[in-house]
Chains A and B, each alone.
Chain A
Amino acid sequence: MEQQYIDFYKEYHTLIKQHSAALMNNFRDAAFEKFERLGFPTSKLENYKYTDMSAPLSIEYGLNINRLQFQINPYDVFKCDVPAIHSYLFFVLNDTFYPVNSTAKQHLPEGVIIESLRTAAETYPQLVEKYLGKLSNEKDDGWIAFNETFAQDGFFMYIPKNVQLSKPVQLINIMRSDVDFMANSHNLIILEEGAKAQLLVCDHTMDHVHFFANRLTEVFAGKNSVYEHYKLENTNVLNTNVSNLLIHQEDSSNVLTNVISLHNGVTRNNIEMLIDGENCESLLCGMVIGDKNQDVDNFTEIVHKKPNSQSRELFKYVLDDTSKGAFAGKIQVAKNAQKTSSFQTNKNILLSKTAKMRTKPQLEIYADDVKCSHGATIGQLDEAAKFYMQSRGISESEARLLLMFAFTADVMDNIRINALKDRMKLLVEKRLRGELSRCEGCMIC
Chain B
Amino acid sequence: MSEDIINQVTQGEYKYGFTTDIDTEVIPMGLNEEIVRLISAKKNEPEWLLDFRIKSYRHWLTMKMPTWAHLEIPPIDFQNISYYAAPRKKSPKSLEEVDPEVLKTFDKLGIPLEEQKALSGMAVDAVMDSISVKTTFKENLAELGIIFCSFSEAVQHHPDLVQKYMGSVVPYTDNFFATLNSAVFSDGSFVYIPKGVRCPMELSTYFRINASNTGQFERTLIVADEDSYVSYLEGCTAPMRDENQLHAAIVEIIALKNAEVKYSTVQNWYPGDKEGKGGIYNFVTKRGICKGENSKISWTQVETGSAITWKYPSCILQGDNSSAEFYSVAVTNHFQQADTGTKMIHLGKNTRSHILSKGISAGFGQNSYRGLVRVSKNADNARNFSQCDSLLLGDKCGAHTFPYMDVNNDTAIVEHEATTSKISEEQIFYCNQRGISTEDAVGLIVNGYAREVINKLPMEFAVEAQKLLQITLEGSVG
A363 to B419, CA, bound (A): 9
Cβ-defined partner of A365 (8 Å) among B399, B402, B403? B399
Cβ-defined partner of A360 (8 Å) among B394, B405, B413, B415? B405
A348 to B398, CA, bound (A): 29
Q: Least Cβ distance of B229 to chain A in Å?
A: 32
Q: Are B419 and A350 in contact (CB under 8 A)?
A: no
Q: Are A363 and B401 in contact (CB under 8 A)?
A: yes
Cβ-defined partner of A357 (8 Å) among B68, B407, B418, B420? B407
Q: Are B418 and A356 in contact (CB under 8 A)?
A: no
A356-B408, A358-B407, A370-B420 given as contacts; is B413 within 8 A of A365 (CB)?
no
Q: Confirm or deny: B89 has a beta carbon within 8 angstroms of a beta carbon on chain A.
A: no
A355 to B408, CA, bound (A): 6
Q: Are A364 and B400 in contact (CB under 8 A)?
A: yes
A335 to B396, CA, bound (A): 7
Q: Are B416 and A338 in contact (CB under 8 A)?
A: no
Q: Which of A330-354 contact B (CB under 8 A)?
A: 335, 338, 348, 350-353
Q: Are B68 and A46 in contact (CB under 8 A)?
A: yes
Q: Are A380 and B414 in contact (CB under 8 A)?
A: no
Q: By DSSP majority rule, is chain A's interface helix, strand, loop, or mixed? A: strand
A392 to B99, CA, bound (A): 79
Q: Are A376 and B377 in contact (CB under 8 A)?
A: no
A326 to B394, CA, bound (A): 35
Considering only CB atoms and an 8 Å cut-off, how many residues of chain B contact the other chain?
Answer: 36
Q: Least Cβ distance of A368 to chain B in Å?
A: 4
A245 to B392, CA, bound (A): 32
Chain B residue at smallest Cβ distance from A46:
B68
- Set of chain A residues within 8 Å of B478, measured between Cβ atoms: 368
Cβ-defined partner of B416 (8 Å) among A46, A358, A377? A377
Q: Are B404 and A353 in contact (CB under 8 A)?
A: no
Q: Are B413 and A380 in contact (CB under 8 A)?
A: yes
A201 to B68, CA, bound (A): 36
Q: Are A369 and B403 in contact (CB under 8 A)?
A: no
Q: Confirm or deny: A135 has a beta carbon within 8 angstroms of a beta carbon on chain B.
A: no
- Set of chain A residues within 8 Å of B395, measured between Cβ atoms: 335, 338, 367-369
Q: Confirm or deny: A361 has a beta carbon within 8 angstroms of a beta carbon on chain B.
A: yes
Q: Confirm or deny: A371 has a beta carbon within 8 angstroms of a beta carbon on chain B.
A: yes
Q: Are A350 and B410 in contact (CB under 8 A)?
A: yes
Q: Are B415 and A363 in contact (CB under 8 A)?
A: no
Chain B residue at smallest Cβ distance from A319:
B410
A376 to B402, CA, bound (A): 12
A46 to B396, CA, bound (A): 27
In this complex, which of B393, B396, B399, B413 has the most chain A Cβ atoms within 10 angstroms of its Cβ?
B399
Q: Which of B378-411 contact A (CB under 8 A)?
A: 390, 392-411
Q: Are B392 and A353 in contact (CB under 8 A)?
A: no
- Set of chain A residues within 8 Å of B412, measured between Cβ atoms: 350, 378-379
A368-B392, A368-B393, A368-B395 given as contacts; is B418 within 8 A of A363 (CB)?
yes
Q: Confirm or deny: A362 has a beta carbon within 8 angstroms of a beta carbon on chain B.
A: yes
Q: Are A378 and B405 in contact (CB under 8 A)?
A: yes
Q: Are A365 and B414 in contact (CB under 8 A)?
A: no
Q: Are B402 and A378 in contact (CB under 8 A)?
A: no
- Set of chain B residues within 8 Å of A373, measured between Cβ atoms: 417-420
Q: Which of A368-418 contact B (CB under 8 A)?
A: 368-380
A338 to B147, CA, bound (A): 55
A367 to B397, CA, bound (A): 7
A368 to B361, CA, bound (A): 9
- Set of chain A residues within 8 Å of B409, measured between Cβ atoms: 350, 353
Cβ-defined partner of B413 (8 Å) among A46, A366, A379? A379
A167 to B395, CA, bound (A): 44
Cβ-defined partner of A358 (8 Å) among B392, B396, B405, B421? B405
- Set of chain A residues within 8 Å of B405, measured between Cβ atoms: 357-360, 376, 378
Q: Confirm or deny: B422 has a beta carbon within 8 angstroms of a beta carbon on chain A.
A: yes
Chain B residue at smallest Cβ distance from A352:
B410
Q: Which of A192-243 contact B (CB under 8 A)?
A: none
- Set of chain A residues within 8 Å of B403, measured between Cβ atoms: 360-362, 376
- Set of chain A residues within 8 Å of B400, measured between Cβ atoms: 362-365
A362-B400, A362-B403, A363-B420 given; name 12 further pairs at CB < 8 Å.
A353-B377, A355-B410, A360-B405, A361-B418, A365-B392, A366-B398, A367-B395, A368-B393, A368-B394, A368-B478, A377-B415, A380-B410
A-B CB contact pairs (8 Å), 7 listed: A335-B396, A350-B409, A356-B407, A360-B402, A365-B420, A366-B398, A379-B412
